[in-house]
Structure 1
């Protein structure tokens, strides 16, 4: 039975009803020695508590898209088939222009929570050795005959940890919020792409390449990016690509954009952080060398020192103590052509949660429309 499906949710409700009714029906009818009666009544109480906790978990999980399936929840999922040392550019000496197109079959998503218009496909990255699902939503103009020769800009959307690839499409309702804005010309028509980011059970890769573990950077910035270009009318130039992320996904978005200005023009960070160690489950945060190297502050400092500040635009929002200071640190380092916009989320706005991030989507895409080229 699917973790996120309606049948499991209804089963959890039914079990809770049974757990509540059971003590009323059987409490005084339990027979046997006092010890046996005590154990039976304790079992009924524990069953009631367990079913209540289960229903709360299922409700929260479905509302926030934390875990996609039982393997993700239990930490047994492994989407890495190989993790070679791919070198500093994450390409392993290969040239994408010499590689044949990787065509992927997209169809209706397995989970209806993502909403109408979303497609789901699964493939194995040739460069990264990672296999996973990718959700894609096409703008309303995509099938308009007037745009038949048009290539569209792309935004990759990254969840937090734990987090599901479908969270932007489902919980945050990005397509639903953006469709009318695109139809009315208020924002540019973007292709939205949400790839799997939970690759190794119960640990967060930090969106970095770790030989022998996972090439998460190459999965996102090379394989997923090229797959979208191969299968859809997507622009291939860096100036037409951007990333958005919340929480741990915000860290990834900022890190990837700064590290690969040849692949991305902009990044949006919602309640993110710079130091990967702030995510306790981060593999990058546990490695002293990677912790420093994958910090966006370190990446930006190194680029500035080399006389090559990246042509990267960043939008960073967060509350005090929850992303705002991370944005200020990057803004202080920004040298032309790097730009950083920092927004303070006021106290009481909702904290570190999906309601805050969901409300920012229209503003974020208006900003992206002014930065990313189409």
Structure 2
């Protein structure tokens, strides 16, 4: 059973109830002195604590999409490095480990559903290496080398903490892209899927950290250059967009505003509008107050000339703590930047809400991309 499936949650609740019943029944029999009774009571307390906690953790994971499978949770997912074999990293910085096995529309044929490559991208300027998935639509696989330069590219980011697999298994980015093309709602696009946590376990918030990971450089310079070179795509920023949820949404909006020569469109789902600073991030700005302000999107919109980019923000009237800041963001965008929004009546900072926003946001993003 999948880690996010309802049967898994139901089974964990049933086990917890059974352990609770056994504890109630056994406790009087273990109430006396003696090492056996003491160890028995300790064992029951541990069992009830663990089994009561599992349903809660599964429910939180289902809402936020931290892990897409048991393999992700246990760090045992190895299927993507098997099958097609591993190729050495080329001069472009992309190493293809194999293809991700997936089925959609009752087919596994790449000519029908496209192909998902499991890769590692090595940044020439940042020195960062990060795993990613690259979805190549069927139209790309049939295209000539010249025609492949006409495909738009959408970089999709997860939140923090998370794994890259959630973008396929929970957010279903390749599936939404394929559905959009089949329905005529969007044109074929190459998707580059990865987590913003490219210097794990640190949450760098896509910042070039002084004397630390150069995460912004990786996403703005290294990633487009490497992917474009390896797959024969254009590096024209008008053909490149980026989107994500939560921290990934903040990164997406910031990359477009700070690096319009890399991305001309961005979508943030439940995005924050400034970088967090907590034990998971450490000191991101080296004590530089001006650098911190430059990474605050609301401050930036008011004090820095806005570039010619298209932006989308998504939030909910009820259930989203960042809704007031989303309104401020929308009201602060001025020409030549443009802003659109998806505002749900109710929602929250969770996978259920993002599941309603991902498909229309992806279609919006690709519609804003223009290739030579």
Equivalent pair of 2:155/2:242 in contact (CA under 8 Å): yes
Say which of 113, 116, 119 aligns to 2:117: 119
SS of the aligned residue for 1:273 comes to coil
Does the C-alpha gap of structure 1 residues 145 and 165 become closer, same or farther in structure 2, counting only changes over 3 Å?
A: closer
> Which string of whole-angstrom CA distances, capped at 9 and with x for unpartnered residues, describes residues 262-321 of structure 1?
0111100111121223877444489544431211233333432xxxx3011101121245
The Cα of 1:225 is off from its aligned counterpart by 1.7
Unaligned runs of 5+ in 1: 75-98
> Who is 1:252 aligned against?
251
Compute the TM-score of the two structures, normalised by the length of structure 2: 0.75
Equivalent pair of 2:154/2:366 in contact (CA under 8 Å): no
Distance in 2, matches of 1:303 and 1:291, equals 14
The Cα of 1:155 is off from its aligned counterpart by 0.8
> Which string of whole-angstrom CA distances, capped at 9 and with x for unpartnered residues, describes residues 187-235 of structure 1?
0111111123224445421110013221111121222222211221322
> Who is 2:131 aligned against?
133
Distance in 2, matches of 1:112 and 1:37, equals 53
Compute the TM-score of the two structures, normalised by the length of structure 1: 0.75
Q: How does 1:160-175 map to 2 (within 5 A)?
A: 160-175=159-174
Does the C-alpha gap of structure 1 residues 30 and 332 become closer, same or farther in structure 2, counting only changes over 3 Å?
A: closer
Say which of 337, 348, 351 aligns to 1:351: 348
Say which of 83, 89, 108 aligns to 2:99: 108
Q: How does 1:78-89 map to 2 (within 5 A)?
A: none
> Which string of whole-angstrom CA distances, capped at 9 and with x for unpartnered residues, describes residues 122-171 of structure 1?
24322112222111111231123579723211111111222222322221
Which has the higher mean CA deviation after the structures are superposed, 181-190 or 30-39?
30-39
SS of the aligned residue for 2:141 comes to coil
Does the C-alpha gap of structure 1 residues 47 and 279 become closer, same or farther in structure 2, counting only changes over 3 Å?
A: same
Does the C-alpha gap of structure 1 residues 336 and 5 become closer, same or farther in structure 2, counting only changes over 3 Å?
A: closer
> Who is 1:328 aligned against?
327
> Who is 2:370 aligned against?
373
> Who is 2:84 aligned against?
none
Does the C-alpha gap of structure 1 residues 46 and 112 become closer, same or farther in structure 2, counting only changes over 3 Å?
A: farther
> Which string of whole-angstrom CA distances, capped at 9 and with x for unpartnered residues, describes residues 13-36 of structure 1?
6x9589579759976876983564
SS of the aligned residue for 1:141 comes to helix
The Cα of 1:108 is off from its aligned counterpart by 2.8
Aligned CA-pair RMSD? 3.9
Distance in 1, matches of 2:173 and 2:209, equals 31
Q: How does 1:1-374 map to 2 (within 5 A)?
A: 33-34=33-34, 36-54=36-54, 56-57=56-57, 60-61=60-61, 64-66=64-66, 100-109=91-100, 117-145=115-143, 149-151=147-149, 152-277=151-276, 281-283=280-282, 284=284, 287=287, 288-304=289-305, 309-320=306-317, 322-346=321-345, 349-374=346-371
Equivalent pair of 1:118/1:138 in contact (CA under 8 Å): yes
Distance in 1, matches of 2:3 and 2:120, equals 19
SS of the aligned residue for 1:206 comes to coil
Equivalent pair of 1:182/1:189 in contact (CA under 8 Å): yes
Does the C-alpha gap of structure 1 residues 22 and 285 become closer, same or farther in structure 2, counting only changes over 3 Å?
A: farther
> Who is 2:83 aligned against?
none
SS of the aligned residue for 2:276 comes to helix
Unaligned runs of 5+ in 2: 75-89, 109-114
SS of the aligned residue for 1:224 comes to helix
Distance in 2, matches of 1:329 and 1:150, equals 39
SS of the aligned residue for 2:255 comes to helix
Equivalent pair of 2:125/2:217 in contact (CA under 8 Å): yes
Equivalent pair of 1:66/1:163 in contact (CA under 8 Å): yes
Distance in 2, matches of 1:199 and 1:145, equals 31
Equivalent pair of 1:303/1:310 in contact (CA under 8 Å): no
Q: How many residues align?
A: 337
Which has the higher mean CA deviation after the structures are superposed, 47-56 or 260-269?
47-56
Which has the higher mean CA deviation after the structures are superposed, 182-191 or 146-155?
146-155
